């Protein structure tokens, strides 16, 4: 399962996968696999991404189109 919002928010902010991977302390390849759904995103990574982008985890996982944290 691809996570379109995860990719879109990164691209909208002109951030490269390599930059996010460094913040998360993972390889660029691992981060790419998170976006494409090849490997599961851990809760720890989801929390870091949610905090970094200041959006809800549900938004990152395409469960809602509303990025606001409620």
Give the tens place of pLDDT for each residue, 3-47: 899 999 999 999 999 999 999 999 999 999 999 999 999 999 999
The pLDDT score that the predictor gives to residue 51 is: 96
Q: Is the pTM of this model over 0.95?
A: no
Which alpha helices (H) appear in 1-70, and where do they start and end? 4-12, 17-24, 28-36, 43-53, 57-60
The pLDDT score that the predictor gives to residue 21 is: 98
Q: Are 31 and 39 in contact (CB under 8 A)?
A: no
Instruction: Note the CATH number of domain 4-60.
Output: 1.10.260.40
Q: Are 6 and 55 in contact (CB under 8 A)?
A: no
Best CA proximity match to 42, nearest among 30, 29, 54: 30
Q: Are 57 and 50 in contact (CB under 8 A)?
A: yes
């Amino acid at each position: 399962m691809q996570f379109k919002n995860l990719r879109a928010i990164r691209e909208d902010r002109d951030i490269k996968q390599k930059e996010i991977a460094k913040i998360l302390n993972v390889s660029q390849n691992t981060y790419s696999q998170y976006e494409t759904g090849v490997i599961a995103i851990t809760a720890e990574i989801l929390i870091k991404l949610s905090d970094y982008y200041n959006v809800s985890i549900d938004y990152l996982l395409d469960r809602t189109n509303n990025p606001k944290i409620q």
